[in-house]
Structure 1
Amino acid sequence: MNEKLKITLKGSVNILPLLIPVVPFGIILGAIGMELGFSVLETFATSFIIFGGASQIVFLQLLSGGASQIIAVSSAFVVNSRHFLYGATFSEYLNKLPMGWKIILSYLLTDQAFAVSNTYFRANENNRLKHYYLLGSGFTLWSIWQISTLLGIFLGSIVPDELGLAYTIPLTFIALLVNYFRKIDHLIVILVSGILSLVLFNAPLKSYIILSSLTALFVGFLIIKFKKGNNS
């Protein structure tokens, strides 16, 4: 078997266990888009262009709530800002690739693709074809996400409004946050962000998400600096 294809398939197979929660999340997202009044094209476009579940939900919810396009885009950007860290981590492995490859892999880089690819890159640092692993894992997740979103769009168009799918928005975010409740510093950042979002809810242009998130990030930065100071 061609080495490039072999590595690509290996990435595709290794990411499959991490896709189990992706399917219902994508279905929920598609259904929520229809519940909030967006068209099929608009809902699916978020999966194709933004390609990030949490940021897509924020984007759709803010637009449906009357926020400006600038605030909606900026909030989605803040939610996805963690990908800068992923890119910085992979830069040492992929810095010699052509720009075209970097653009494609940046688009396909998600939480799950980063998790499996980071392990593979560390173990195969000298393999000049290692980027095909990220291509396989990222493209597999991308394909499943698009299909799941389309399923959700179809289901959302036939599910009665009385079921109130919009309530799955806060439930989805609570599910994403559960794992972070285990550490006190994470809990502090979550509480700061949550409390400030309530206090600043009436901020102009629906900017409360950005303001509360940036403030919470700054608090997290101070906590890290404090912990490093005590350990030195």
Structure 2
Amino acid sequence: MPPDSTGLSAVVFPDPEKQAFRQATRDCAQAMPGIFAWAVVTGMAMMQSGLTLWQALGMNFIVFAGSAQLAALPLIAAGASPLLVLLTALAVNLRFVIFGASLGPHFAHLPWKKRLWYGYLNGDIVMGYFPQRYAEGGRPAGKAGYYMGICALNWIVWQAGSVAGILMASRIPASWGISFAGTLALLALLIPLVKNAAALSGVSVAGTVAVAGAALPYRLGLLGGVVAGMATALAVDALQGGEEK
């Protein structure tokens, strides 16, 4: 490398976005075994619900929402109307409205096509790691790279696990306890998100309602838990905001 006018060699600094991307993959790597297990459970559930191979693969890559997929599968198997399946999936994924509102200020400057892509890749794990590093808005170097690092690793591991579950649905014995590993994965993602009274209240109410309604058909107890939990969290957050004023 030729010397510059000061007699010193030019220094090539690494791209901060690439650095942040690699840092993100290192930060969330510990959660990947659980994500993989949960994805395997989802892949198996799709096949056991009567979907064909191509239907399961299509649902996996297009929908890319484990909890919504698992909520919709019993309805599909029972022959429920497409509208009910759609409304159930939307209700279960209402939390992404809150996720999107939280992430919006960070990426509002990007073109809508890129923001749409970011929205597709968003997941629970993103909200477990991204806010810890970037609590405020603005455009610090590396923000997009960090976000994409989490999303890319999560998407790859999820798709790999789901495809494995789809292809091996009839070969994985129940004694392996894969479904329990999936539940542990969700708990590992949930705990870092419970940081205030609103989140704790929402989680407590959602869990209580879901367990109380476990016997309801079409997993309506799960749907009720999601709605009740979100309503409770919003109410507590509004009350806290009023008290602060």
TM-score normalised by structure 1 residue count: 0.77
Amino acid at match of 1:192: V
Q: Which of 208, 211, 214 in structure 2 is aligned with 1:191?
A: 208
Cα deviation per residue 1:168-214 (whole Å; 9 max; x = unaligned)? 7799669847968xx5764344333444565xx46xx9977656643
Q: Which of 30, 41, 50 in structure 2 is aligned with 1:37?
A: 50
Give yes or no for contact 2:130–2:146 (8 Å, CA) kept in 1: yes
What is the distance in 2 between the residues matched to 1:122 and 1:225?
Answer: 20
What is the distance in 2 between the residues matched to 1:191 and 1:82?
Answer: 18
Deviates more, 1:138-147 or 1:167-176: 167-176
Q: Which of 57, 61, 66 in structure 2 is aligned with 1:48?
A: 61
Q: Which of 39, 55, 74 in structure 2 is aligned with 1:26?
A: 39
Q: Which has the higher helix share?
A: 1
Give yes or no for contact 1:68–1:206 (8 Å, CA) kept in 2: no
Amino acid at match of 2:21: T
Per the alignment, do residues 175 and 217 of structure 1 end up closer, same or farther by CA in structure 2, a change over 3 Å counting? same
Give yes or no for contact 1:124–1:130 (8 Å, CA) kept in 2: no
Per the alignment, do residues 151 and 35 of structure 1 end up closer, same or farther by CA in structure 2, a change over 3 Å counting? same
Deviates more, 1:183-192 or 1:171-180: 171-180
What is the distance in 1 between the residues matched to 2:63 and 2:112?
Answer: 20
What is the distance in 1 between the residues matched to 2:219 and 2:201?
Answer: 29
Cα deviation per residue 1:29-57 (whole Å; 9 max; x = unaligned)? 11121122211121122221121211111
Q: Which structure 2 residues correspond to residues 1-232 of structure 1 after superposition, within 5 A?
A: 1-122=14-135, 125-159=138-172, 163=174, 176=186, 186-195=203-212, 198=215, 201=216, 210=223, 213-215=226-228, 217-218=230-231, 221-222=234-235
Structure 2 residues not aligned, in runs of 5+: 1-13, 195-199
Instruction: Look up the SS of the partner of 2:168 in the other structure.
Output: helix
What displacement does 1:5 show? 2.3
What is the distance in 1 between the residues matched to 2:39 and 2:164?
Answer: 8
Amino acid at match of 1:57: L
What is the distance in 1 between the residues matched to 2:240 and 2:140?
Answer: 37
Give yes or no for contact 2:201–2:229 (8 Å, CA) kept in 1: no
Instruction: Look up the SS of the partner of 2:227 in the other structure.
Output: helix
Cα deviation per residue 1:10-37 (whole Å; 9 max; x = unaligned)? 2222221121210111111111211222
Amino acid at match of 1:121: Y
**CA RMSD after TM alignment:** 3.6
What displacement does 1:139 show? 1.1
Per the alignment, do residues 101 and 153 of structure 1 end up closer, same or farther by CA in structure 2, a change over 3 Å counting? same
TM-score normalised by structure 2 residue count: 0.73
What is the distance in 2 between the residues matched to 1:36 and 1:215?
Answer: 27
Amino acid at match of 2:119: S
Give yes or no for contact 2:38–2:183 (8 Å, CA) kept in 1: no
Give yes or no for contact 1:30–1:150 (8 Å, CA) kept in 2: yes
Aligned positions, number: 224
